[in-house]
A and B are shown apart, each in its own frame.
Chain A
Amino acid sequence: DAKTTQPNSMESNEEEPVHLPCNHSTISGTDYIHWYRQLPSQGPEYVIHGLTSNVNNRMASLAIAEDRKSSTLILHRATLRDAAVYYCILKDWAGSYQLTFGKGTKLSVIP
């Protein structure tokens, strides 16, 4: 699976929107973009995923660049509970099921 690049850390004020970037310049045509997050002392949890079009769900929105070489996870109103490490992961739709985690972005939310 292709590699992703994320900032090591970001800060956000509570109730403000947060835009978490991810670069994946070597993405292939069959790679889906997945986002997971890991709260302190817990296992990761699924956030959202997409292929080409922007995606929305109850947790977040995913904006995918037209050339698919980057994407942005958008949390519309950050809460203290959103403080976590966010992982952007590329996954070939036809590949094996396991995920390869990078270092992710540690998001801190300031009250």
Chain B
Amino acid sequence: GAVVSQHPSWVICKSGTSVKIECRSLDFQATTMFWYRQFPKQSLMLMATSNEGSKATYEQGVEKDKFLINHASLTLSTLTVTSAHPEDSSFYICSVPDPGGQPQHFGDGTRLSIL
């Protein structure tokens, strides 16, 4: 069965809206989770590392004030895309490392479309 639950799987909203995406670890606690973004016909790019109990670590070029990450508990991380614009339309995917570090368990992704 699924190890990681990501919700919603698909969302369409108007420009300027904020959108929250949830990533839940179902089988084990995770102090670290990862958020990736994937544009059409491209590979996954790491956006940020979500850390339980401390601030997220963002990759270079990712705006931390635009992509708010909250690691609310040992089984839940949320990514909020604030004031979303059409260029933020993408496939957002979270992952949870196995307790031993590898492998990574990925969510099914969230298709975000900003009109």
A residues with CB within 8 A of B = 32, 34, 36, 38, 41-46, 49, 87, 91, 93, 96-104
Contacts and interface: CB of A to CB of B under 8 A. Distances in A.
A101 B106 contact: no
13 contacts: A36-B104, A38-B44, A41-B111, A42-B108, A43-B93, A43-B94, A49-B103, A87-B43, A97-B34, A98-B49, A100-B46, A101-B43, A104-B43
Interface in B55-109: 91, 93-95, 97, 101-109
A43 B111 contact: no
A64 B10 CA distance: 39
Q: Is the interface of A mostly helix, strand, loop or mixed?
A: loop
A87 B107 CA distance: 17
A34 B102 contact: yes
A33 B105 CA distance: 17
A93 to B, nearest CB: 8
A39 to B, nearest CB: 10
Contact of B106 (A34, A44, A97, A100): A44
A44 B46 CA distance: 13
